[in-house]
Structure 1
């Protein structure tokens, strides 16, 4: 009798929470994946779903952002948009890519800025001297937003610089992710706050050990100093990004922005800061009129996350891929593309576009690595050329199309970046900057080993099984 009641309870439990999952109206692959977990791990699966899967957190956080006063943001965006509409040379320069530009204005409130100077930084050894020099020369304020700040030699050097500038009266705000920078916060939060530095934790969690893989993390890497210079890209703060850990040399891409794009990046930081700290800030005080930049680089900065109506960076990647006419070059450390991006890539390659993809040879997350490899055979069958980076670990998130447009930022080509994490990418429309990024891409190819379809098909049965199981879980990764 007890066995019968236990069976009834089990079936009722699975059915009840299956209905809840179905009512979330997720994509079919996600729904099936969660139902699979729930069926085979009913009680533990339910716990995983409550921690990792439900959208109630997203809905609550969206509501929490609603009180923010957006009128100043809208005024700034409208200012750049009005200038763009009056500048016919911008439309001529963009050519066939103007649809992408308009899409990001609509979906991400991301105006195109044309008064910019962009410098490409190709690893941490190039980025850190720029960042630390910006901090040393700060006169008014320093605003930092990072997913990971390590408590190591590099992180402690950053702390020393911030304490020095705080003593000089510089206003400092540091927004760190509660999971990615948890060790840094435990060690340095008190000393930094005693020095007058404002710190805020992005979406704190009660049990960081259990929540290390949670969705809704702030994956952005932003630095803005005095409203004149901004850094955005894929490089966090820590010794490993200098190649001092087991993965060896760490290849990544970051951008130094000067000009109107700095204000676009700064708006993203200020909104995130308000969301995390609830400190009311007059945005106008932090959006200065920028000096003319003779380089005139065209930049559009787009943010996306679970708090936005549209998956703007997902849409941006899709649009770049589908609009490519001659060439499409992609670097992504985590390649778990989903159905829409996968179909777009295969269609581009089958249409004769030169599509090339660089991913790491060394994994830093094995399940994601296996899931990535499960997609390689079918994209190669469509004509995509795939390369495994050999020099160390490649962490850059770069798309380049037709030598005329490039995306650099924090968003990986995976479900987590598209839907669950807070991301930011800069879209570059100026050929001289795109050529610099493309030149580095071909250097990365020289530091890689190409995969060939006939060789890749010889994988062992065990390897195929690992990849297939990882792919089955890919909607959850």
Structure 2
């Protein structure tokens, strides 16, 4: 009797999931970017072409700092918060109880006491483990806190869309963008981890901040709040130090149109020498896999740095490994990071182009989440990212096709079962 009830429940849940995916368009034919004569990253019109096809925007600005050490990332965030004179705006996905969250709250409360206007947009799912008293303490100090996309029975499937951005805006002088959450997990405290997580952050300045502030205010308005635009400098002046940056916001993606997916595919199509990608969650859809495979077949040095078995989501790790076969057979090199969780999201194209931010090579970043990526041509970061990749490759286990084929039956079953929920991974 119990077995029958459990089986019926499982079948009901499975059918319900299929129906939800069907009505959200998961099985709709997706755009296939079959483009010819794609401009190379060295072409003058490359950025304009990428911007137009990926719904991105070109703006002047400067990448002033790049950090890949988690302790430094967290320290620089606090330093930026403490430097604020007028305003702080922050949005993120993951926040969990611990020292990092406590340090963050303490810095915000101190600045709010000093008269700094503070607005937070926190993902309601990613921060679900923090108790109400944490937010009450912030609000009591004058910090404005809003939650992104809280569950509603009026539109329950909308809850699948999350805010995956990590953006800190301080005054109108600087912005920090990266992949790290506000959590002790990034310090490498998980079982088996011997080092902090691998993740990155950049500090940017210049007129591009106006666009970033607008993106933040969109989410602020989505949370049902009014926005005061009187204090925003919409006419920020450019300087000789500014370069052209490409901002891809990936807001409200769908199975029919995804800015992040278009961006990733266009990078693969444009590469002429190398395409190095760092993505912890490696679950590219069929069309993206095809584009990556074709790049490798053209002789492009395609390498993917991803998480190893020390993953914060083991089911995603084993699901990802089920897709390795065709990638490895095409000559794509896959490296599984060993010391701890690999959480960086990076792209290095040839010797000329970099991209970083919050987006993964997976269905959630492509079709569900609001993301934020920053790209630049001929950036000073090219050599720094190249060095970071080389160091990470040395700390990783290269995946060999023969070893992958001999993985255990348990791993295959675990991975295949996890892939049943592919569109939500």
* TM > 0.5: yes
1:236 matched residue in structure 2: 181
Structure 2 matches for 1:375-390, cutoff 5 A? 375-390=323-338
Work out whether 1:444 is the aligned partner of 2:392. yes
Work out whether 1:408 is the aligned partner of 2:356. yes
2:105 matched residue in structure 1: 159
Work out whether 1:269 is the aligned partner of 2:216. yes
d(CA) in 2 for partners of 1:260, 1:161: 27
Structure 2 unaligned residues grouped into runs of 5+: 1-6, 26-38
d(CA) in 2 for partners of 1:50, 1:456: 34
d(CA) in 1 for partners of 2:199, 2:210: 24
- CA 1:310–1:293: 2 relative to 1, 3 Å: farther
Work out whether 1:218 is the aligned partner of 2:163. yes
Greater helix content: 1
> How far off is 1:454 after superposition?
2.5
Equivalent of residue 14 in structure 2, options 45, 48, 53: 45
d(CA) in 1 for partners of 2:174, 2:398: 38
d(CA) in 2 for partners of 1:407, 1:425: 7
1:340 matched residue in structure 2: 287
d(CA) in 2 for partners of 1:52, 1:237: 31
- CA 1:448–1:343: 2 relative to 1, 3 Å: same
Equivalent of residue 340 in structure 2, options 386, 392, 400: 392
Work out whether 1:435 is the aligned partner of 2:362. no
Equivalent of residue 227 in structure 1, options 172, 176, 179: 172
1:324 matched residue in structure 2: 271
- Count of residue correspondences: 400
1:55 matched residue in structure 2: 24
- CA 1:213–1:277: 2 relative to 1, 3 Å: closer
Contact 2:354 2:379 in 1 (8 A): no
- CA 1:188–1:464: 2 relative to 1, 3 Å: closer
> How far off is 1:52 after superposition?
7.0
Contact 2:303 2:333 in 1 (8 A): yes
1:365 matched residue in structure 2: 313
d(CA) in 1 for partners of 2:245, 2:171: 20
Max Rg structure: 1
Q: Deviations over 1:174-194 (max 9, x none)?
A: 110011112336132222222
- CA 1:183–1:53: 2 relative to 1, 3 Å: farther
d(CA) in 2 for partners of 1:99, 1:117: 20
Work out whether 1:256 is the aligned partner of 2:203. yes
Structure 1 counterpart SS, 2:388:
helix
- CA 1:293–1:130: 2 relative to 1, 3 Å: farther
d(CA) in 2 for partners of 1:53, 1:222: 33
- CA 1:202–1:358: 2 relative to 1, 3 Å: same
- CA 1:117–1:93: 2 relative to 1, 3 Å: farther
TM-score, length of structure 1 as denominator length: 0.77
Work out whether 1:101 is the aligned partner of 2:19. no
Contact 2:152 2:159 in 1 (8 A): no
Contact 2:96 2:127 in 1 (8 A): yes
d(CA) in 2 for partners of 1:240, 1:231: 20
Structure 2 matches for 1:7-86, cutoff 5 A? 41-48=10-17, 54-55=23-24
d(CA) in 2 for partners of 1:174, 1:144: 5
Structure 1 counterpart SS, 2:397:
strand
> How far off is 1:339 after superposition?
0.7
Structure 1 unaligned residues grouped into runs of 5+: 1-37, 57-91
RMSD: 2.8
> How far off is 1:452 after superposition?
1.7
d(CA) in 2 for partners of 1:193, 1:472: 41
Contact 2:53 2:262 in 1 (8 A): no
d(CA) in 2 for partners of 1:376, 1:315: 21
Structure 1 counterpart SS, 2:269:
helix
Structure 2 matches for 1:70-149, cutoff 5 A? 95-96=42-43, 98-105=45-52, 107-108=54-55, 110-149=56-95
Work out whether 1:200 is the aligned partner of 2:169. no
> How far off is 1:281 after superposition?
2.6
d(CA) in 2 for partners of 1:125, 1:233: 14
Contact 1:390 1:448 in 2 (8 A): yes
> How far off is 1:213 after superposition?
12
Q: Which segment is superposed worse, 156-165 or 176-185?
A: 176-185
Equivalent of residue 125 in structure 2, options 174, 179, 183: 179
1:425 matched residue in structure 2: 373
d(CA) in 2 for partners of 1:118, 1:185: 36
TM-score, length of structure 2 as denominator length: 0.86
Contact 2:58 2:245 in 1 (8 A): yes
d(CA) in 1 for partners of 2:136, 2:285: 42
d(CA) in 1 for partners of 2:40, 2:280: 31
